[in-house]
Chain A
Amino acid sequence: MTLGDRPAAKLLEIKNLIVHLRVGERTLRAVDGVDLVIERGECVSIVGESGSGKTTLARAMLRLLPPVELAEFTGEVLFDGQDIRMLPDGLLQKMRRAGTFSMVFQDPLGYLNPTQRVGAQIAEALPPGLSISASRQRTLDLLREVGLRDAELVARRYPHELSGGMRQRALIALALAPSPALLVADEPTTSLDATVQLQVLETLRRLHRQRDMALVVITHDLGLVAELCDRVYVMRAGKVVESADVFTLFESPKHPYTARLIELCTRGAPPVAAAADGEAVS
């Protein structure tokens, strides 16, 4: 897919985005003038080391930053040509429920409510107006779609009763509930074991293809990027220092920072094995 040969509005277009956060007394320039484009159905990665502002960028593009911490939030976040940065809460909520964009978080235990059953939490994210049996069926379908074979059992469990990989899958199912056109996955595999990482990646790739859903993967792991994505944005200190398609980036990195990241990654990269896709309750 090449850029710029489509007349329709881009799925997501970010222009000169600046996000400054209040951290105690200081102001943190987390995102400092970022331009970024995501087309429909493509898989894009945002890469950078910890503290480079990639998570803040991801949250800013879905407007999930806590308002109290925002010191500055300027630029444009155009979703289908509409700037969601200043959208009133009611409209934003409607957009989220209608499946425009959703997010998978890094730490599935913290991002699932500990006192509610997994099934209920997924059902809550479904589009409104479904009957009880229909929403139950959709919940089970989603759990199966993300590779949880014992969907009925998982739906009845509480988050702490599931393994890390299963929790991450449940969180992906939750994010998929409104059938989003864009899924942002923030370090989706960081908190998982190496083998489970590959399985979850495989699931994400399959979902991205089957659903023709745009996927943004935030990560510091370039190996993961090479496996999954079409294009890469490399971030450092709140700025995008390089953007290219995966092959170009790996063949001839322009920025020395990218080159160093690639070097680090190829030196210690785990061998990519064919991972089984799916998980059962043990």
Chain B
Amino acid sequence: MIVVVLLVFGMLQLTPGDPVQAMVGQYPVPAEFREAIERHYHLNDPFLSRLWQYFANLAHGDLGFSFQMQRPVLDLILERAPRTLILAASGFLLGIPIGMAVGVLSATSQNRHVDRFWTTTTLVAYAVPGFWLGQLLVIFFAMQLGWFPTQGMAPLVSRASGIGWLLERARYLVLPAVTYAIYEATRVARLMRANVIETLGQGYIVTARAKGLSRAAVIRRHVLRNSSLPVVTIMGYAFGVAMGGAVLIETVFSWPGVGLLLIEAIRARDNQVVVGVVLFVSFAVILMNLMVDLLYCALDPRIRTGT
């Protein structure tokens, strides 16, 4: 994590642009105003002094202050994180089962055309950029059919409460979540297909057939679990990364999550926020990796220690 901070902090020193100018906008900055700002935010202190101050604050749980939004960075991230979490979780919960089903279907189908159809479909869906797919979905389902709102996370004015409030929110979630899910599903499907084909070549599958189990029982009891293990690793890591927000999807749907925050911060040269978001993502990835390891122990008895 410390390395991550050093890297990002250092990189942002090298980027062009002037934070004070970005704050003021398209107007010339008066000299005394610039000086006051720079003194207030320690912008002209030496690099190492600022870095030291940053770490000292970090130790107190202070991620710094956004001079663009005039709020603490931690507040900003914590406000955005649940929204990103909802979007990513819906995308994963929808995408992973679909991807696994397609992967298994494609790998176990005895008809070569079925396999080829799914492999091609997955590849095409995988290659389509998420933002373009998102826009297509918006044009068709939101603008033409009017089933779902085009962007945002909630209506500007809302009188609904209880279940109605929840359903109203859910309508905003559908399109971004589906876009997200399609991408995750293609990744899982490709991985799952390869894993299932590998598992089917294992000896214990022959044993299972020799027992007189039906094809479906062999797949359900012996193939699924053993083929899912690598998916757990990849998806756990991906979920950690996803906490940084799917930047493109959040931008397309104006979903006010961490990804959109990052974009806004980069545009505004709000460096403290950028470092904060990157730090937050690396923390999420580390946390998810830990959880993946724990889950792995539960799924694969060979990993358990002491045996």
Contacts and interface: CB of A to CB of B under 8 A. Distances in A.
A137 interface: no
A62 B214 contact: no
A96 B301 contact: no
B226 interface: yes
Given A89-B214, A113-B226, A124-B208, 13 more contacts: A96-B212, A97-B212, A102-B211, A105-B203, A110-B202, A111-B206, A113-B207, A113-B208, A114-B204, A115-B225, A115-B301, A124-B211, A125-B212
A94 interface: yes
B111 to A, nearest CB: 13
A115 B299 contact: yes
A102 B211 CA distance: 7
Interface of B: 202-204, 206-215, 221-222, 225-226, 299-302, 307
A71 B214 CA distance: 24
A147 interface: no
Nearest first, the 3 A-B pairs at minimum CB distance are A96-B212, A110-B203, A97-B212
Contact of A113 (B204, B210, B307): B204
Interface centre among A102, A107, A111, A158 (most CB of B within 10 A): A111
A116 B203 CA distance: 14
Interface in A220-252: none
A133 interface: no
Nearest to B206: A64
Contacts of B208: 113, 124
7 contacts: A93-B212, A93-B213, A113-B226, A114-B300, A115-B299, A124-B208, A124-B221
A160 interface: yes
A116 B208 CA distance: 12
Nearest to B214: A93
B207 A114 contact: no
Given A110-B202, A114-B226, A115-B300, A105 B207 contact: yes
Interface in A105-138: 105, 107, 110-116, 121, 124-125
Contact of B222 (A62, A96, A113): A113
A96 B206 CA distance: 13
Contacts of A115: 225-226, 299-302
A96 B211 contact: yes
Given A115-B299, A160-B302, A103 B226 contact: no
Interface in A50-88: 62, 64
Interface string A154-181: 0000101100000000010011011000
A174 B207 contact: yes
A205 B304 CA distance: 37
B74 to A, nearest CB: 42
Given A110-B202, A110-B203, A89 B215 contact: yes
B212 A105 contact: no
A36 interface: no
Nearest to A65: B206
A153 interface: no
